[in-house]
Structure 1
């Protein structure tokens, strides 16, 4: 898929995971205060004291954030941009990197059929657009949110697979999505939000079709459910400004999983 600076700044399309958000432009948001390359995450408990409920796909759909539930953001289904299944991501050249790649695509990082996903994008600042400040008008963060639920200790195993993959794949890996070869050149651990029972965050430097960027992901375990957040910032693709996964999105989605 060919891209232009205009296409990357489209406010009507969130991240195209099929090329790791390098196609139509979505956004990840970050700040120096929330990043810490020496810390990969935080956990309040590696295993819950009581068995947590495992949800069905239909139940997870209802637990996803809906339009109007998070102020300042637009919530959409993501059906046009999110991959329907893991089979979309092909030729992942390191097996230990598969959970990381799936988390970035709002797919279950573990083995389960119970999953649901959508996209949550910051509202455009209309005042900036009206004044012709296009760089500021597209200073938006778009996040793909994925929920997956597991029986037994499946959620703990899925979370560990992502955490282990961040370390094992720090030097990068490659894969193909929608016919586009994508190279992750580096994975860097970041300071996680501390949400849920345990959380881990990381940034990836990624490239496809001659373009590159840095994107952010956080994975949070809430009992038997894993929430993944993959964010991209429209403006940062051209300005290089730092950003993180929006705390407001993590907090709002986490509240629905309690």
Structure 2
């Protein structure tokens, strides 16, 4: 049952698998000689404070998602249905690991003003030669299957310092949950065995990446979870493949973050 659950979770994630920080400052000049009185100085207007960043809504985030025309070659971009997102929803009884579960479930980190989702899938495998033997065709098919990778992309935007706080919580979770944690999806519990540092990501204002291993001896499985902050928006990438070796989708990340401006 465990291998079936893990396999189903990977397939589901593979099948369905940030905008602006407004700042302003004001300044004022005053002219006066040595005879300027104290009351005039006291009355001089103070520099206006920068307004708090306003998070984008679902409708404002949707156009910022990566499109088919902008995606890497040989990729398929498709928005997940409400039912598919619901099927991925996960929970954990380890509160410190909640940000990891949210990242894997296409759920917003913390409390966001808006959310938008899409999924970019592709394969690194190669089809068998049509003249190959049946055994070679089967082998090539299995290699292609193990190369199938799904990258779930979730954009979330926040008011004020919300994005920075949510990013910090995710980064802390990656370290706090190194020893693993349980995650429940659709009534079934998946045991994440361990969490380790993922591939380095340099996109956006700040980024963090972790690899969560939840496979077993029979079925290798792992997800690379990446969160990139750009201003007051987060782009979360959950990367899984059927071979248990989720490679960092640098081209997908770079293209998505570039679109955020």
Q: TM-score, normalised by structure 1?
A: 0.73
Deviation at 1:74, TM superposition (A): 0.3
* In structure 1, C-alpha distance between the alignment counterparts of 2:180 and 2:118, rounded to whole Å: 26
Match of 2:224 among 213, 216, 219: 216
Deviation at 1:3, TM superposition (A): 7.5
Match of 1:78 among 70, 80, 86: 80
Q: Which has the higher helix share?
A: 2
Aligned residue pairs, count: 217
Deviations 1:23-45 (A, max 9, x none): 45739xxxxxxxxxxxxxxxxxx
* In structure 1, C-alpha distance between the alignment counterparts of 2:215 and 2:119, rounded to whole Å: 22
Helix, strand or coil at the partner of 2:68: coil
| Higher mean C-alpha deviation, range 169-178 or range 152-161 | 169-178
Q: Which residue of 1 aligns with 2:110?
A: 110
Deviation at 1:170, TM superposition (A): 0.8
* In structure 2, C-alpha distance between the alignment counterparts of 1:154 and 1:191, rounded to whole Å: 25
Q: Which residue of 2 aligns with 1:41?
A: none
* In structure 1, C-alpha distance between the alignment counterparts of 2:180 and 2:74, rounded to whole Å: 34
Deviation at 1:250, TM superposition (A): 0.1
Matches within 5 A, 1:115-130: 115-122=115-122, 127-128=127-128, 130=130
Q: In structure 2, do the counterparts of structure 1 residues 233 and 175 end up closer, same or farther at CA, with 3 Å as the change threshold?
A: closer
Matches within 5 A, 1:1-258: 19=9, 21=10, 23-24=11-12, 26=14, 50=23, 54-70=55-71, 71-79=73-81, 82-84=84-86, 88-90=89-91, 92-122=92-122, 127-128=127-128, 130=130, 132=137, 133-138=140-145, 139-207=147-215, 211-234=219-242, 236-237=243-244, 242-258=245-261
Q: Can you give the 5+ residue segments of structure 1 that lack an aligned partner in the other structure?
A: 9-15, 28-47
Q: Which residue of 2 aligns with 1:30?
A: none
Deviation at 1:221, TM superposition (A): 0.3
Q: Can you give the 5+ residue segments of structure 2 that lack an aligned partner in the other structure?
A: 16-20, 24-51
* In structure 2, C-alpha distance between the alignment counterparts of 1:80 and 1:62, rounded to whole Å: 18
| Higher mean C-alpha deviation, range 51-60 or range 184-193 | 51-60
Partners of 1:124 and 1:140 within 8 A in 2: yes
Deviation at 1:49, TM superposition (A): 8.9
Deviations 1:82-133 (A, max 9, x none): 42499x323x111111111101112111112511111100157674475622
Q: TM-score, normalised by structure 2?
A: 0.73
* In structure 2, C-alpha distance between the alignment counterparts of 1:129 and 1:199, rounded to whole Å: 41
Partners of 2:13 and 2:152 within 8 A in 1: no
* In structure 1, C-alpha distance between the alignment counterparts of 2:253 and 2:65, rounded to whole Å: 11
Partners of 1:96 and 1:168 within 8 A in 2: yes
Deviation at 1:81, TM superposition (A): 6.5
Q: Note the aligned Cα RMSD (angstroms).
A: 3.0
- Higher alpha-carbon Rg: 2
